[in-house]
Amino acid sequence: MRHCNSVFQSEDIWFLLDKDDCVNRKLYIASCPICNKQIALYSYCDSNLENYFEKYYYSNGARKIKERLKKEVTSTLQGFRTKYRAPYGFRYGINKEIKKGGKIVGLKQYACDFWGNKILVKKVLNEE
């Protein structure tokens, strides 16, 4: 996020319900480290994922958009960080080879989420 010519991390991200015409809706929330203003960045894609939109809101505007969107929150980054350690929400799988002396002897399968959490789901060893 940016303000006052500086770029900074959001303090929280709200993940919002999809709508018919816009998906991947998120609200990034932070206060500017320079001027201390409350800032919200609303981002979304149109439903065919061709266009990405974002809009900044400041101070009162930020408070209003938070008030308006809080009913549509499905999860938040803060909530996720405090509540869950294991992968949560949308997951994808990763396979990792287990090697021994240059030979692939098995496979480890992980479930991962987009926040970088990972758990081992299955370990498959090739039969000798």
Residues ≥6 apart with Cβ < 8 Å to 41 = 1, 10, 27, 28, 29, 54, 55, 56, 57
Query: Using the rule CB under 5 A, is 33 a contact of Zn ion?
Result: no
The least CB distance from residue 6 to Zn ion, in Å, is 7
Query: Which of 11, 17, 19, 34 lies at the binding interface for Zn ion (CB under 5 A)?
Result: 34
104 with 98: CB under 8 angstroms? yes
91-100: long-range contacts, CB 8 A cutoff, minimum separation 24: 93/121, 94/118, 98/123, 98/125
Query: Using the rule CB under 5 A, is 32 a contact of Zn ion?
Result: yes
Nearer CB in complex with Zn ion: 56/84: 56
The least CB distance from residue 70 to Zn ion, in Å, is 23
In 3D space, the residue among 52, 32, 50, 31 whose CA is nearest the CA of residue 42 turns out to be: 52
Query: Using the rule CB under 5 A, is 26 a contact of Zn ion?
Result: no
Which one of the spans 26-34, 54-62, 96-104, 110-118 is the region binding Zn ion (CB under 5 A)?
26-34
Q: Tell me the per-residue interface mask from 4 to 23 with Zn ion, x by CB under 5 A, - otherwise.
A: x-------------------
In 3D space, the residue among 71, 9, 66, 6 whose CA is nearest the CA of residue 40 turns out to be: 66
Query: Using the rule CB under 5 A, is 104 a contact of Zn ion?
Result: no
The least CB distance from residue 43 to Zn ion, in Å, is 19
